[in-house]
Structure 1
Amino acid sequence: MSFATCDICDANEDKIATHELAVIPPIFMRFGNVTRFSGQAVTLKVFEDNVLVRSTLETPGNGRVLVIDGGGSFRCALVGGNLAALGEKNGWSGIIVHGCIRDVDEINACNIGVRAMAPMPLRSSKHGGGMKDLRINIAGIAIHPGDWIYADADGVVVARHALV
């Protein structure tokens, strides 16, 4: 896959004004062995509970990107090495966590792209809460199920339609 988020932004400035294209503010760190990834978004809204994250990553990813609105919590990790490996095995192209991850060395060994706010060694709870396939908001940017996510070393952009 060959794209650059800078080129996407430059070629689609008109879509930024109409909110068909948005750039997530630079709040994420890069993890995983894949630095450039893209795909349609599958959205989750969870808070300090990753049961829904696991059950989603257990399904075929088909090149999609799992976008997790974890409320920006720094109190526990929502994704660790086992879940990143599960995502890789099941064909997810990337995972974006508005929150924390753990097992950084394990995640960095996986052939999947991961963006998260920070590492945190404490695991999440396992109560089974959360919602799937809904509009979420990360750092002021709305992300709908099916939106296109493009991530590389320069950042993460969200488009209503495929751009590359």
Structure 2
Amino acid sequence: MAGRSNDELKSQGVSLLGNQGTSYVYEYDPGVLEAFDNKHPNRDYWVTFNCPEFTSLCPMTGQPDFATIYISYIPDQRMVESKSLKLYLFSFRNHGDFHEDCVNIIMNDLIALMNPRYIEVWGTFTPRGGISIDPYCNWGRPDTKFVAMAEHRLLNRNLK
């Protein structure tokens, strides 16, 4: 986030970036997410996060599930701060939910935080029992061109 002063970021509610006393939350906590102002709100552009060390727990067996989570969004006025996103994803470590629920929860929490123009979340979970599960969800802001984009991307997700 070059070009932003620490005071500017703190005034926007960003407190984790640069904080050396980071504490990790071991239970699901969307309250750890922080956002900052988008310096380019008049332009549509992608922001993508690849999170290869996501873990959660199977709600039935309590066994760990491992995944790479891909988050892509087109911001509007607010953007998620990456360190807070890392800590938020870490908070799933002891959270018991199915893969499909995890990606939808992540998407819903990011929509609530940022109100992006468009967002998609995709999880590629490590196979367990010989089956991998790769849930995908997306959302386009209602009454905008991004609703059609969300529908198109969902309907054409697995075309090769």
Between structures 1 and 2, the one with greater helix share: 2
Q: TM-score range by the shorter chain?
A: under 0.3
Q: TM-score, normalised by structure 2?
A: 0.22
Between structures 1 and 2, the one with greater strand share: 1
Q: TM-score, normalised by structure 1?
A: 0.22
Q: Name which structure has the greater RCO, CA cutoff 8 Å, separation 6+.
A: 1
Larger Rg: 2
